[in-house]
Structure 1
């Protein structure tokens, strides 16, 4: 294999890995800027050729807006949670947050009571009461720790799965928002249009695409 073919093969591998890891839209120059510091062969001509090859094989997605070409990872390679799964995760987060706030408020009340009692009781009464309050504070503190990051409300496997699901859904939500705005801004720059105009045209294009499919 000649050097040019080797550079192209390595370039395609690097670009595919980069787009899959970032999972947001880039134009050709963005990719050159990101990859050339690590690989001097990644000039704009080579990067464009690699992008054309990858998109022609549907390994990545290319969207054209006038003279602007935007590239991103093929979304068919990513697991997308259903709306029902996202709603269930939102409900779980809200429930845990409400319980955390309730327990934190109770802890504050217990600390305040302990301080008040320490100023009013005899030594023997104080010792007995503080021991009881310390036990209650420790119990509630453990409960807060359980909610905030985990000691065992469930088995290790269940906790790990819940944490994995949360990270996955949170990342999907953040990526969806970021990819949308990145694409709109890049398209706007290339078309020399305001962001609002690009958003309206993009929505019309999506509506037409969905109606055809």
Structure 2
């Protein structure tokens, strides 16, 4: 029964089908895909239809025996029609591609609500900038003079020099008294209450770089 239905479908339509295509066409008549596949393979083995494999896909082709052959004019007309349809398909595909691009561009355009939100944000930023500018023009912001900068740098340099000197002094003393010390240095410092640069996460070099033109004290 399944073989007869499959053979009739292929003969009536005179088109190649895969298993799923035939199963879809015969599903309304109660045939399952497994039945259809078994019937198509049996028809192919019996030579009633042809089976061509394209990778994992099998295509079942109805027999062309007994069908009238087209004369030259009919064949040329059908080939011309096929060429026209192929050209139309290319034009439709190009039109669809253009419409998809246009749709993507439209989707990327901000909505009215999004534009209004951006405008509000920009206006707020402008207002904040104008407020800062007005404060600066009105004397709300005090400019630092070159003399103030020089004085601050001098105080910083003095403190940095003291740091270098005291660090070197401590290191000289510590190297002497700890020469034969077997205990862990960090543990000893903790017991003695000694605060090191490393313990507070600071390094002398990081601050020395802030005054690159300064003559450094002798490194310890």
Q: Taking structure 1 as the reference length, what is the TM-score of the superposition?
A: 0.35
RCO higher in structure (CA 8 A, sep ≥6): 1
State which structure, 1 or 2, has the greater radius of gyration over its C-alpha atoms.
2
